[in-house]
A = this chain, B = another copy of it.
């Protein structure tokens, strides 16, 4: 009887702890959804037109030409938008699944998909940051000039989208880490 009681208390504690962990998991998924959605929108609407003065020949007067910077001109930014759009759709879907299926093969299935999101998002972050830094600083060795001195607002928006995407990626890392800790505790 004493054992039964003890068991009862223990399993109750496990259930409560499990519920608490599950709530944290769902909250993190909602946060990941919000961050990746915002990152995709901030970069996806990014466009800046600037009028620059161009001289075709020394004898001719300078002409004012409008130059446009768009996010889809650089494939690294396209990849960042697509990766964040995929990750935010997945975050929404996995939140619904996590709320309904807490046991069985769904657990490792979702954990592995979470892991793939980490890989995809971090590769997109790396690509966008590399191109962003090149645009901000340029590189004299390969003669790629900086462009952020002309398109300041555009670059600022790229930086904001990159930071949001990085935060979203870190939240996915936390989700995977939390699942690992939960599975480890259950396996003991």
Contacts and interface: CB of A to CB of B under 8 A. Distances in A.
Nearest to A186: B187
Nearest to A138: B144
A129 to B, nearest CB: 7
Contact of A184 (B108, B124, B169): B108
Given A73-B139, A134-B134, A183 B177 contact: no
Interface string A129-140: 111011100010
A133 to B, nearest CB: 7
A90 interface: no
B139 A74 contact: yes
B144 A144 contact: yes
Given A127-B129, A130-B127, A173 B76 contact: no
Contact of A180 (B75, B120, B183): B183
Nearest to A105: B184
A56 interface: no
Interface residues of A, number: 46
Contacts of A143: 145
Give how many copies assemble into the complex: 2
B108 A180 contact: yes
Interface hub of A112, A125, A128, A183 (most chain B Cβ within 10 A): A183
A123 B126 CA distance: 4
B130 A177 contact: no
27 contacts: A69-B141, A73-B142, A74-B139, A74-B142, A108-B180, A111-B184, A115-B118, A115-B173, A118-B118, A118-B119, A119-B173, A120-B122, A122-B123, A122-B126, A127-B129, A127-B130, A131-B131, A134-B134, A135-B142, A176-B176, A179-B180, A180-B180, A180-B183, A183-B183, A183-B186, A183-B187, A187-B187
